[in-house]
């Protein structure tokens, strides 16, 4: 049995501020350890459930956050950037299940450190008329490969966002939102035990989870924080301007849509 883990940092217990998430933040190294420990708890639960192979994809920022020397020795780590599939790089149809650790809500919600891929650049992403954050888009990529997302951890509002898309997904609330940069955090010991035990349960009951799919064809709209970013995005030949802030792309697969979205973000990121 093979498990894919995508690990972000904003949804980790104890992480509430840019000082935790940014490379130059005074609390960043501490947050990296928190992130690594939550991933390890997930790996422990997976191994107890009979998983034979675990691949972890570091999915935050530069994607060089997980402390490799402290990562569980039974897991492989995908780190570094750029990656064609970013937060779900390495995921294929050969995996039996996927788990997302440390995830956050999409931009415009009230979840802790809410954003969608790039907080200074992206206002919203819509696919076939529905708003999506990182969780939903990454789950759809997994679904394309026939892989169900069986569990996700993060704040209480991320749990709501996830269950709205995948009603029977297992969710772990590691902190309760008070505002965008304030939370009531569950203790590390309790958080790790929750993740371990829920991973064990989620893997054993994975037959109850179906892959999440977005039906093709796909009409993708990306709205930016200011018009200058949309101007830059519009230079891509496949892009059509919808309004002052928004561009649109039509694709046949979520893989192409995801790669276009990521490409647009890389194009505009340095101007945000």
**Element spanning 239, H or E:** none
Helix (DSSP H) and strand (DSSP E) numbers for the chain: 7, 12
> Annotated binding site for Zn(2+): which residue ranges?
8, 10, 60, 104, 134
Rounded CA separation 6/264 (Å): 22
Rounded CA separation 268/154 (Å): 28
> Annotated binding site: which residue ranges?
8, 10, 60, 104, 134
| Closest C-alpha to 259, from 240, 238, 230, 245 | 238
Name the active-site residue from 115, 192, 219, 226: 115
CA end-to-end distance (rounded Å), the chain = 42
Q: How many residues does the chain have?
A: 272
Whether residue 244 lies in the annotated active site: no
What are the respective helix, strand and coil percentages of the chain, to the nearest 5?
35, 25, 40
Show the tokens assigned to 105. Answer: 């809500």
Q: Which residues are annotated as catalytic?
A: 115
């Amino acid at each position: 049995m093979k498990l894919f883990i995508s690990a972000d940092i904003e949804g980790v217990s104890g992480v509430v501020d840019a000082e935790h998430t940014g490379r130059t933040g005074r609390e960043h190294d501490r947050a990296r350890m928190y992130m690594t420990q939550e991933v390890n708890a997930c790996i422990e639960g997976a191994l107890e459930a009979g998983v034979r192979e675990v691949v972890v994809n570091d999915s935050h920022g530069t994607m060089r956050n997980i402390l490799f020397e402290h990562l569980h020795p039974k897991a492989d780590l995908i780190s570094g950037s750029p990656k064609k599939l970013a937060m779900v790089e390495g995921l294929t149809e050969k995996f039996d299940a996927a788990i997302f650790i440390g995830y956050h809500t999409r931009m415009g919600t009230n979840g802790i450190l809410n954003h969608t891929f790039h907080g200074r650049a992206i206002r919203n992403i819509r696919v076939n008329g529905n708003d999506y954050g990182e969780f939903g888009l990454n789950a759809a990529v997994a679904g394309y490969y026939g892989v169900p997302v069986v569990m996700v951890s993060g704040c209480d509002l991320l749990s709501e966002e996830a269950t709205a898309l995948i009603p029977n997904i297992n969710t772990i609330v590691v902190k309760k939102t008070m505002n965008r940069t304030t939370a009531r955090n569950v203790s590390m010991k309790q958080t790790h035990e929750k993740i371990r035990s829920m991973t064990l349960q989620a893997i054993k009951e994975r037959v109850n989870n179906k892959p999440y799919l977005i039906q093709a064809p796909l009409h993708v709209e990306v709205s930016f924080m200011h018009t200058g970013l949309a101007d830059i995005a519009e230079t891509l030949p496949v892009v059509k301007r919808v309004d002052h802030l928004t561009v649109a792309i039509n694709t046949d697969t979520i893989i192409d849509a995801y790669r276009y979205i990521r490409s647009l973000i890389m194009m505009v990121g340095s101007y945000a």
